[in-house]
Structure 1
């Protein structure tokens, strides 16, 4: 039986990754600080090693003890973390190390963005160690470059680049914001004209991509992952409404109308000034497929209903939206 060491593994992408590998016959070891509830505590196929992944010594010991065939790294946020992990996995002769990068690693606005053609973000020395939203893309890009360098040294290291991830147990609550709006309001403010395009990806499809890349990918390669169909933001509201059986009117508001509520387009989660679309042909060539929205959205909505998440802190408050709606009614 093959063995997975998952760095992380209890919250969102990591949790679904563990389930994916378990479903395909792997034993699993989790390596994390133990700060979050372990959903696999009662599963005898899953063991837990407590430690800090930013400590090279603790990570090395975890790899030595687990002796994994595959390492999936769901929480490498700094380039130094990727370099340390690839060094350790190379020394341990791990069959595959897979780094969770991001579509934010791309530094050029192309449609679609392709792994071997679209330029990555540059990353300065300061950005490589700066924990901020502005440095996130550059840090992920530098992590990708660490993957490429490791492969040149003979390490079986690969990268998977998702855009915004949605699905059950999403602690970021970005998608919960829109579900909450649809469930609790007859009219939902959508920024712009509704045609904003920011590709998303269902979390279970990220998990399956990580496994398939570990098993079938080529060292030194990066693979985009995303939903096969990329709805506009206005279409997402419609799909959520269909999944909730709610009658909702999407009300589109441009910069002038939003100003009435003291709002801007980018205050809304899921809005991006330029379209963001990733080519998926490279991953599909490995046999990967995405989950239809007819399955992914209802599953996401169902788990949202059971949770205590609202996502309301991730976007404008309702009072500001009501002011915008009032302005639109008289225009």
Structure 2
């Protein structure tokens, strides 16, 4: 049994991760602002904190508390990463940062981990409002890998989808097609990669047992052109999508990238993780969400 802390963990794939860890018999503590009901009752411990405040974060190691694994799902800035380096120094055996595909720019080829090397990436400190999302994550990785005295792995995951996705990014496309509203997509030939919320949680749980350090890409096997994704939605809704390259702001697709945006997962596969085929779950999810009236 491991003593595990999750920074975040009250919704979406973070909540699924908590359940997986509980099912494995681990002692789990959730650290959040305390604004979202998690539904785990007395199965988990809880710490209320502000991730952006170093003194608040220190509550996680009050009274000499030590952790086998810390999952950080809510680190968005280099300053937050540096706070973790300071607070958890000598207090954690393994630290797993939930990072993102957004550390890479869209490109015509699949990105390997070496394309953004956090061990040599120049560090600039600042809060999450000082940087774009992708740059904030690049810098957070760089701070942790360059400054932490504990082993760190960064799971670079793409857009996560599922029926429990509170962001509604896939539903945006389904609803726009249903209502015959325009969708702004600059490049229908661009390929995208995704991961399901269940698989994201399973990957993070698996990663705690690996010796690997550094960044590691994770996505479902395969990719999909945006044109094909739209065809799947058209099939389920019975409506024709209205695609435009000059949309209003509110009609811009959350998947509207200028070029393909995919990752190479050879590293994770060499370590033994088997990813689900994208086509084994995404068309079914589109069918499920299309049947829901919103």
Work out whether the TM-score is over 0.5. yes
User: 1:39 matched to which residue of 2?
Assistant: 39
Determine which of 157, 163, 182 is the counterpart of 1:168: 163
User: Which deviates further from its counterpart, 195-204 or 6-15?
Assistant: 195-204
Q: Within 2, Cα distance between the matches of 1:10 and 1:185?
A: 32
Q: Within 2, Cα distance between the matches of 1:70 and 1:289?
A: 22
Aligned residues: CA RMSD: 3.2
Larger radius of gyration: 1
Larger fraction in strand: 2
User: 1:140 matched to which residue of 2?
Assistant: 137
Cα 1:291/1:241, change in 2 over 3 Å: farther
Tell me the alpha carbon deviations over residues 9-47 of structure 1, each in whole angstroms, 9 at most, x when there is no partner: 11223212212322333221100111112232x3x3212
Cα 1:214/1:29, change in 2 over 3 Å: same
* Aligned length in residues: 291
Q: How does 1:99-248 map to 2 (within 5 A)?
A: 99-106=97-104, 109=107, 111-118=109-116, 125=124, 128-129=126-127, 131=129, 135-150=132-147, 153=149, 155-182=150-177, 184-185=178-179, 189=183, 191-192=185-186, 194-219=188-213, 221-240=214-233, 245-248=236-239
Q: Within 2, Cα distance between the matches of 1:201 and 1:75?
A: 18
Cα 1:142/1:189, change in 2 over 3 Å: closer
TM-score for both structures, normalised by structure 2 = 0.84
Structure 1, unaligned stretches of length 5 or more? 311-331
Q: Within 2, Cα distance between the matches of 1:52 and 1:141?
A: 21
Structure 1 residue runs of 4 or more that deviate by more than 6 Å after TM superposition = 120-124, 303-306
After TM superposition, give the deviation of residue 199 of structure 1 in Å: 2.0
User: Which deviates further from its counterpart, 56-65 or 205-214?
Assistant: 56-65
Tell me the alpha carbon deviations over residues 203-262 of structure 1, each in whole angstroms, 9 at most, x when there is no partner: 22221221222210423x1011112111111222334456xx4434345x453xxx4xx5
Determine which of 282, 292, 295 is the counterpart of 2:281: 295
TM-score for both structures, normalised by structure 1 = 0.76
Cα 1:125/1:88, change in 2 over 3 Å: closer
Cα 1:264/1:85, change in 2 over 3 Å: closer
